[in-house]
Structures are given as C-alpha cells and as structure tokens.
Amino acid sequence: MKKDLSAIYNQSIENPEEFWGEVAKDVFWFKKPTKILNKSKPPFYKWFEDGTTNTCYNALDLHIDNGKGDKTALIYDSPITGDKAKFTYNQLKDKVSKFAGALDNQGVKKGDRVIIYMPMIPEAVIAMLACGRIGAIHSVVFGGFASNELASRIDDSQANLLITASCGFEPGRTVEYRPLVDEALKLAKHKIKKLILFQRKDHEVKLIAPLEISWDEALSNAKDKDCVEMGANDYAYILYTSGTTGVPKGIVRDIGGHIVALKWTMKNIYNIKEDDVWWSASDIGWIVGHSYIVYAPLFKGCTTVLFEGKPVGTPDAGVFWRVISEHKIKSLFTAPTAFRAIKKEDPDGKFFSKYDLSSFESLFLAGERADPDTIKWAENLLNVPVIDHWWQTETSWAISSNCTGIEMQKTKYGSACKAVPGYDVKIIKPDQTIAKPNEMGDIVVKLPLPPGTFPTLWNADKRYEENYMTNYKGYYQTYDAGHIDDDGYIWIMSRTDDIINVAGHRLSTGAIEEVLSEHQSVAECAVIGIKDQLKGQLPVGLIALKAGVTKDNETISEECVQLVRDKVGPVAAFKIAIVVKRLPKTRSGKVLRGTMRKIADKEDYKMPATIDDPAILDEIKESLIENKILNK
C-alpha cells in the first residue's frame, strides 16, 4: 500500500472496496469475505457481508496462535484502591473463555443481549470479551448513570442478563451500585432473567437467589468456551447515546468492519505497534473506552492500560505522569477536560518534573473541542506532539486526525486536522450547496461510511435514516458545524442539535428538560449548554413556574438540581437551575435556546425576526447576571 497520506487518502475515497479489501487481509477470518461492499440498499451499506470471524478471537486467540501468549495484554492500575495487576494474552484468554462458559451456563446464546454496568475493573473487560466469544451482544452502561437510564437500556435492548459490581469508587466516595440496580430493575418493564454481581473487596452486598449470583459462583462450575463463528454483519455491541428527543439511541457495531477498521487505526492514526504500551484514559461506558481501552489495542496485539482513577485527586495532579512513567506508555488518549483539570491544579507542572517520561511520544485529545490554550500548555510541558482529533460514538473511530503512523502533519491550533482515509468530508450550506474553503456550514460525510461505523440503530432503521441520512441526501449528517480551510484542515466550531458536551460526555438537553418538567412547580423549561473553562460545556436550566406557586425560588432550584442528579446522574454536572418569569419564544412557540446560549456565552446574536417579545431577552440577561453566569 502507498505510503504518503495524500495518496492513501485518495485511494480510500476513489476505490474504497480495493482499499478496505486489502486492509481486511490483516485480520483473522474463519471465512474470508469475497463481497467487500454491498451498496444495493442505501443508506444501509454492508461491509464484508459474506465473511465470518469473531471479535474475541481477533483480540486474544490470534496473538496466542502467533506466539505472543506471554506478552502483557492488559495492565490494571487503580490509584483509588491501590490495586495493580498485569494479564498476559494467555491469562486474559483463560479468564475470558471461563467467563464465557459462565454466561453459557446462564443460558446466554448467540445474539442475546447482556447489559454490563460496572466500574473500571478487569472483570468489565473480561465480560465484554466473553460476550464476543460466544456471540452475545453486550451493552455497556456507564456506571455514573442513574437508575432510570439503566432501566431504559434494559428495556430497549431486551437484555436477558445484567452483569454488575457491588460498587464503584470515586475520589473520596463510594458509589453503591446495589440501590441503583434495584431501582432500575423495578423501573424496567422488561425483566432480566439473571444478574451476575462481582463483589468488590470489603464492599460485599447480599444477593437474592435464584435471580442473583456472584461472579465467583458463576465461574465455579463453568467450562472454557471456544470462539463461535460470527457473520461479519452480526452485531458486536449496542452503545446507547443521547437522543435529541430524550430517548436514547442504540448505536450498533457490526463485527467484521469493527475489527478491520480499529486494528488499522492503531498503526496508521496513533503509530502504535505490537510492542508498544498504549493508554486511553476514559471509561468503558463511553465509545472511547470501547474502541481504545478494549478493542483496538487488543486487535493490534499491543499492551493496553485500564485506569481506575481521575486526572486529579487520585491522589494528586501528578497521577497521569506516574502512570506513564511506571508503565512506560508511548501514547495517551484522553479528553481535553482532563488536561484542563491538571492545568488548574498544577499550572507550573511541578508534579511532572518528578517522573521520567522518556518513553512518552504523543498525546491525543478528543471527545470535545480542544482549546488552543490547553494544547499549547500541554505541548510546553510534555515536549511531544499534542493532537486534537474528532470522531463520534456513531463512527467509533476518528473522522479527522493527524495520522501520525502515515505522515505527520503540522498543527493548526483549533483544528482537528485533516479527514482520515475512508471519510469523504464535506461542508454543506443551508442552501444545500457545497461550501467553498473557509465557508461555514454543516459538516457531512459522503456515503458510504467506511467500515467500523454504525450500519443502523438498534431496532430503529427508520430513525437511523431519518435522523442521520435524510437532510442531505447521500451524506451522513454529523450534527457538527464548521469549515474546511484551504489546506484541507477541518475546523469543528459547534453542534447543530441540542446535544451538549460535558467533559467529553455527550448529553441531551432535551432529556434534562424532561426531568425538570416533572417538578410540580415547573410550567416550562429550557436547558442550554454554556461554555466552561474546565468541562467544555455545562448545562444551565431556565425554569418558568406555574401560576400560584408559593414555594420560594431558591428551594425550587435546589429541588430541580437534585431531581436531575437522581434521574440523569452526576455525569450531567447539573448545578444551576434559574427561575425566570418566562422563556423567549418565536411566535410559533419555539423556545430560542440558541439565542439564550449566545447571550450566556457573550457571543454576538441577531434579534430573531420571529421573536414573540424582544423584552424577554433582556429579562433573561438580567437573570444570568443575578446568578453570576454573566458579568454586568
């Protein structure tokens, strides 16, 4: 294959079947595909449809077959508990195949759904890989989500089994999973058949037979299971992401394209080889954790780090440097929020000077826009390339990046670099014409999307087509807006829907509004995402009260904040609910969320021509000043 980035990119766009057919030769197939791309039913494209393979085999067994069984596959490091462990590919395969047998004993079959609601512990990775081994479809739910979020995922996936733990740990507190799971099981209309719970040391909980069984008990009579042969278009997992209606969308990943694309990215985007140690400081509940803690590094055969901690507070702002130094990590992938937190705690990098980072070669940032100040601070401290790149839960791997394993590009601060091979990125203006260089518009990707992206939504083909593929025929709508400059660099400037980005976590303002509306005193509400130096964006609720409410505003605000915390979870970082007289609307009744956000962020805005009463915006501005969101 060609070596320079421009030639490789052009080949991937002009002849995608030849390009990805060649890449696919690097993975293990029980039956090699002869049909690389089926384009007969757009936008439902199928990659490698007649091939058969297995996710777990490519992650573990293949490397053992190639004589790498004694190589370290997974490093577990928990500064919160003090626990550390290393697992070779042989050891990890033994644990995974045994737990696959435990799942089989509980009646889990090929195509069944399994919910995984766990903290960042090795058992979570083992559970994911065990599902892949026997052909079950896992759906990992982030441990920070509240009970109703877990319940909605149980209902939508119709899962047969739930795997959880007794608790998770955060700096200074223990997150008890038992009451969260109990409430979710009460709320869920669909009833699971079995629950497997991992008892964490000194935090054991009581289990209720026969529905519930401990992890150890599940393993006690389990036999090793071999990998089952799976069709390339069978699903590896469902990962739910926020929907604009508040109803979560089940992003599905087809097995064949997932393996092909992610394995390719490790060398070509991140410049990671089999003998390297890679660290993605995220959570398995998010797409970054799926793709770059678990699957891509294990497909590649390198060593991956599973970190149960935070960038600050476990115990200090030097923990990232300690982990990199101790485990000789070559590259780190994390969210800009992490580095903003480190910068806030240790602006002069005093902790950094305590550690030897001679192994460290590059830092990759994604999950939200990386502001130039944070990138420059990290560059000056680390003295390595700091690369902002852009992708989404829907794609599972980078749409744009500096492809360091092919040809290093220069940095343009504020840009997520160039389109990655496989992605034909365009900017489309409101009049449906392609934008010229440097013109703003909606960012779209010409179909078909490359392998490893989402072929549809779980049980929702119509929603997939209407949400993503309808507004711009022949294109995937990313719901990001921006421009492409004269050099082909992509600039992501804002979202075009109501999804906000809180510390790399995509959350729906509509979902938060639904919760606020449940308060007995709230007549109507709007949630906007405002800029925040540390977390990127924070949600702020604006609530108008029902007539005749006598309860004081401060109490109502506190109750609303608690309501969101209970129903969405701490992950929303929802701390501000402001009582206002009324919300600004168009004459047709649409709330002017975008205008309010611009006011809060001190951005220029035009008075909407269809506004019902312009004076309301002045009232909103005064409320934001009173609540110290705006200065006078």
pTM (2 d.p.): 0.87
Beta-bridge partners for 87:
74
> For the chain, which residues make up each domain, given as ranges?
5-309+389-465, 502-626
Considering the chain, what percentage of its residues have pLDDT values greater than 90? 73
Q: What is the pLDDT of residue 341?
A: 86
Strand partners, 241: 249
Please state, in angstroms and as integers, the Cα–Cα distance from residue 103 to each residue in 108, 128, 153, 224, following that order. 5, 11, 20, 11
- For range 612-625, the mean pLDDT: 86
- The top-scoring range by mean pLDDT among 420-429, 563-572, 593-602 is 420-429
User: Do 96 and 224 contact (CB within 8 A), yes or no?
Assistant: no
Contact 281, 338 (CB under 8 A): yes
Cα separation of 172 and 320, whole Å?
A: 18
**CA torsion angle 451 38 459 43 (round to 10):** 90
Task: Report, as an integer, the average pLDDT of 53-73.
Answer: 98
Mean pLDDT of the chain: 92
Domain 5-309+389-465 sits in which CATH superfamily? ANL, N-terminal domain (3.40.50.12780)
| For range 424-442, the mean pLDDT | 92
Under a CB-based contact definition with an 8 Å cutoff, are residues 439 and 427 in contact? yes
**What percent of the chain clears pLDDT 70, i.e. is strictly above it?**
96
pLDDT grade, residue 332 (50/70/90)?
A: very high
For position 242, what pLDDT does the model report? Answer: 66
Distances (CA, A) of 88 to 94, 124, 290, 292, 302: 10, 16, 20, 18, 11
Mean pLDDT of 474-485: 93
pLDDT tier at 586 (50, 70, 90 boundaries)? low
Please give the CATH superfamily to which domain 502-626 belongs: ANL, C-terminal domain (3.30.300.30)
Q: Which residue has the tokens 């091939």?
A: 51
Whether the bond between 448 and the residue before it is cis, its omega within 30 degrees of 0, is yes
Q: Does pLDDT of 392 surpass 80?
A: yes
CB neighbours of 577 closer than 8 A, spacing ≥ 6? Answer: 516, 540, 541, 542, 543, 556, 557, 560, 561, 564
Is the pLDDT assigned to residue 610 strictly greater than 70? no
Query: pLDDT tens digits, residue range 153-211?
Result: 999 999 999 999 999 998 888 999 999 999 999 999 999 999 999 999 999 999 999 99
The DSSP letter of residue 309 is S
Per residue, the 3-state secondary structure of 387-453, as one string, reads: EECECCCCCCCCCEECCCCCCCCCCCCCCCCEECCCCCEEEECCCCCECCCCCCEEEEEECCCCCCC
Tokens of 550: 């006598």
Kindly report, residue by residue over 120-154, the tens digit of the pLDDT.
999 999 999 999 999 999 999 988 788 988 999 99
Among 355-359, 404-408, 502-506, 553-557, whose mean pLDDT is lowest?
Answer: 502-506
- pLDDT for res 1: 45
pLDDT band (50, 70, 90) for residue 556: very high
Q: Report how far apart, in Å, the C-alpha atoms of 147 and of each of 116, 179, 184, 186, 198 are.
A: 14, 9, 4, 9, 18
Pick 270 or 609 by higher pLDDT. Answer: 270
pLDDT score, position 2: 46
Tell me the one-letter amino acid at 120: M
Contact (Cβ atoms closer than 8 angstroms) between residue 567 and residue 573: no
Mean pLDDT value of segment 450-478:
96
How far apart are alpha carbons 452 and 420 in whole angstroms? Answer: 13
**H or E element that contains 365:** strand 362-365
Query: Is it true that 5-309+389-465 and 502-626 share their CATH fold?
Result: no
